A = this chain, B = another copy of it.
Amino acid sequence: MAEKSVKVGLVGFGTVGSGVAKILLADADAIAAKTHLRLELACVVDKDTESARPVKLPDGVLTNDLNKLLNNDSIQIGVELVGGTTIAKDIQLKMLAAGKDVVTANKALLAEHGSELYETAYKNNRCIAFEASCAGGIPIISGIRTGLAANNITAMYGIVNGTCNYILSNMTTKGEDFAEVLAQAQQRGFAEADPTLDISGGDSAHKLAILASIAFGCEILLQDVFVEGIGEVSKDDIRFGGEMGYVLKLLAIAQKDGENRISLRVHPSFISKDNHLADVNGSFNAVSIFGTAVGQVMYYGRGAGMMPTASAVVADIIEVALGNSATIFRQLRLKPRNEVEPLINKIDNLVSRFYVRLMVKDQPGVFAEIGRILAENAISISGVLQHEGQGPDNAVPVVITTHPTRQNKVTAALNDLGELNTVCTRPVCIRIVDIPEDKDS
């Protein structure tokens, strides 16, 4: 079988872009041996053509003029690695209009403007491939779209932000505070100088919107996802939760119930220390998926970084060049917004177990008051933890875990509890997520 030559143009010569260039330049022969495709890096566009990069491009490949890519009809695939939702969108639309298939790692853009881009791609008879947008090198999107295609996917639990997982695991193992560990993460390159998008849960929400769209076959928007970040997590709660058998993770959760109602949420979550996701440490990602036929499947690997993400980008380039991406893209038929919107379950309706920590005055009657408020809100206590000894200002931490309860009842109870004179600070509330681990029956 003869080799097929495919020219690739890259926009964005940062970390991931350098990784992609590195693979395309160094491994062209290996890829050709495996795939019969001769991938050629024809053009790299970046406004900065001066800074040193970890890869040396052949002369004439680097340019700051996007038109060199757009107007070169021999370039079949355009890779957008600029990031953000403004210039990047413009670049993708222009590439599609110029007849290029698009490969991208841009989760924010797809989560916010996916439909418009997909529509444009369909109209131009082109495709958009975005394996690298979620969970870096882990081939999770192709896993869902092809490997699990025979399944009705009912739930997905993911650790999809390496920065947050790095921070939470290090807080857990070292017993250190959020700010301290964040600073270390920044120093060691596991957190951005401005970590807001990661810490806030926003990045995880972007990824969840994309993954859930594909898993459920529905047009999911960012606004459908309830989001709480990890900025207020304290080492005390990680420790108390640990004593009760839980590990704290920032989970991205998508669930579909028997009536096709969809819940989408990103928040700090206590999970059983026996769950496989509890062992996902540092900057690693993992996603557990539940399908009607397959049961539980879990994917684990590096969710970010130059080479892992480049691995996914180049995998997409290969799939686009082979024509498979086009087939899969064409058959992706998402249920439209007017049908999806009524199915989205609001967080108030969530039924979950909860971890609640109250800082209370160490005096008689406190438990009676707490008990009364929980009872009034029909909240049943599952476990209680109060260590002997006193904290600062005669305040002691009381930890309560609940049986499954509706979110709005807990919200109401927390308001009432917060108003008690004996409760010193705003109650801390963290959802306990009982992931239904698949086991031998």
Q: Which residues of A contact B (CB under 8 A)?
A: 1, 19, 23, 27, 30-31, 33-37, 131, 137-139, 142-143, 146-152, 166, 188, 190, 217, 276, 279, 282-284, 291-302, 305, 307-308, 310-315, 317-319, 322-324, 327-328, 330-331, 333, 438-440
Contacts and interface: CB of A to CB of B under 8 A. Distances in A.
Nearest to A306: B293
25 contacts: A19-B293, A31-B149, A34-B331, A36-B330, A137-B297, A138-B147, A138-B297, A139-B297, A143-B143, A143-B147, A147-B312, A149-B315, A149-B318, A150-B312, A190-B440, A276-B279, A279-B279, A284-B438, A293-B310, A294-B307, A295-B307, A296-B300, A297-B299, A322-B328, A324-B327
Contacts of A310: 150, 293
Nearest to A293: B311
Nearest to A169: B440
A314 B149 contact: yes
B315 A150 contact: yes
A330 B10 CA distance: 28
Contacts of A35: 149, 331
Contacts of A301: 294-298
B282 A308 contact: no
Contacts of A188: 440
Given A279-B279, A283-B440, A333 B34 contact: yes
Contacts of A1: 330-331, 333
Contacts of A311: 148, 150-151, 291, 293-294
A291 to B, nearest CB: 7
Contact of A324 (B19, B30, B279, B324): B324
B440 A23 contact: no
Contacts of A137: 291, 293-295, 297
Nearest to A302: B295
Contacts of A440: 166, 188, 190, 282-284
Contacts of A138: 147, 294, 297
Given A37-B331, A142-B142, A276-B300, 17 more contacts: A131-B147, A137-B294, A138-B294, A138-B297, A146-B318, A149-B314, A150-B310, A150-B318, A188-B440, A190-B440, A276-B276, A296-B301, A297-B301, A297-B302, A299-B299, A322-B331, A323-B327
A19 B142 CA distance: 23
Contacts of A297: 137-139, 299-302
